[in-house]
Structure formats: structure tokens, C-alpha cells
Amino acid sequence: MAGFFNVKDAVSGKQAKAFVTINGRVEELFYAKTLESTIEKNKVDVPVLGRTSTPQRSAGWSGSGTLTIYYISSVFRQLMRDYVKTGEDFWFDLQVVNEQPGSGSGKQTVVLKNCNIDSVIAARFDATSDDMLEEEIPFTFEDYDVLDQFNTIQPTN
């Protein structure tokens, strides 16, 4: 008999917590709206004599993401201003904790290491919108760790 996914095990994104560590200082990103990070494998063609297809082999990876926050913090703008003025680049770590109370899935904690911002909004306003101001901050990262892993979920009957 096939089992079913128990809806109480689903994890709400609204329950997440996120933290940024910049120069050893940890700040909770309570003003964050969304974060999505992706690891993409870099592949190279490996032509093989006698085959009409071209197989590929992994040859590394790259990490990138987007952090969307409410437009209420100058932290990232200040870091970018310092880079503009001095030429000294900056890196930081992002930690994301997903945990849903009552879910059998438990908790997952991921740390994106050596994040580097691609761009920030220098200044912004929108007099035509009733929505709160927000900004998307694209970034890359060099490494990541999974500190806590979700539990294996068992189907219900």
C-alpha cells in the first residue's frame, strides 16, 4: 500500500531565520523577505571516438543567489560604498535555518560561505506604489556547509 505525504511535515518559509556574519559581527536578517541560492555544476564536453553523442563531465561548480530584503538597512550599501571608496572588497557568510514547529522534518541549517555582492541599489523611491520598498541583492558564494540536515520523513497510510 502506498503511503502519503503528511502535510504537518511541510516546512513553511515564513518560519525561517537568516543571519549574516560580516567581519566577525553576526546580524539577524529579520528584514529579509526571500533568499534563494543555487549551486551550478560547470561541465565540459568529453568527445568519445565512435559515439555520436557528446558526454559531459563535471569540472567544478559555482554558487550564486539572490537576497531580497525590505529597503530599511544600509548595511550592504555601506559595504559597497567602502568598496567604491577604497577598492577593498568584502566577503561575508549567510546562515539560513529552516525549521517548522510540529514537523517531523526537524531542522536544516545551511551556511553560504564567502558571499560577495554583485550589486546594490544606491538610492530608491517609488511614489506610485502602495507596496513597501524592497531590494534584490544578487551575490556569489565560494563554499557552503549543511550544519543540520532535515530528518527522513515517513509516509502515512
Contact partners, residue 76, CB within 8 Å, separation at least 6 = 117, 120, 137
Report residue 112 as a C-alpha cell: 553560504
pLDDT, position 47: 96
pLDDT, position 151: 92
What whole-number distance in Å separates Cα of residue 95 and Cα of residue 69? 15
In sequence order, the β-bridge partners of residue 113 are 143
In the chain, % of residues over pLDDT 70: 99
pLDDT, position 73: 93
pLDDT at residue 32 tops 70:
yes
Helix (H, G, I), strand (E, B) or coil at 27: strand
| 147 membership: H or E segment, kind and range | strand 143-148
Report residue 100 as a C-alpha cell: 517548522
Tell me: the pLDDT tens digits for 42-70? 999 999 999 999 999 999 999 999 999 99
Model confidence at 157, pLDDT cuts 50, 70, 90, reads confident
pLDDT, position 44: 97
HEC secondary structure over 68-122: EEECCCCHHHHHHHHHHHHCCCCCEEEEEEEECCCCCCCEEEEEEEEEEECCCCC
Model confidence at 3, pLDDT cuts 50, 70, 90, reads confident
In the chain, % of residues over pLDDT 90: 87
What value does the mean pLDDT take over residues 58-83? 96
**Fold classified for 7-44+56-148:** Pnp Oxidase; Chain A (2.30.110)
Q: Over the chain, what is the mean pLDDT? A: 95
pLDDT, position 1: 56
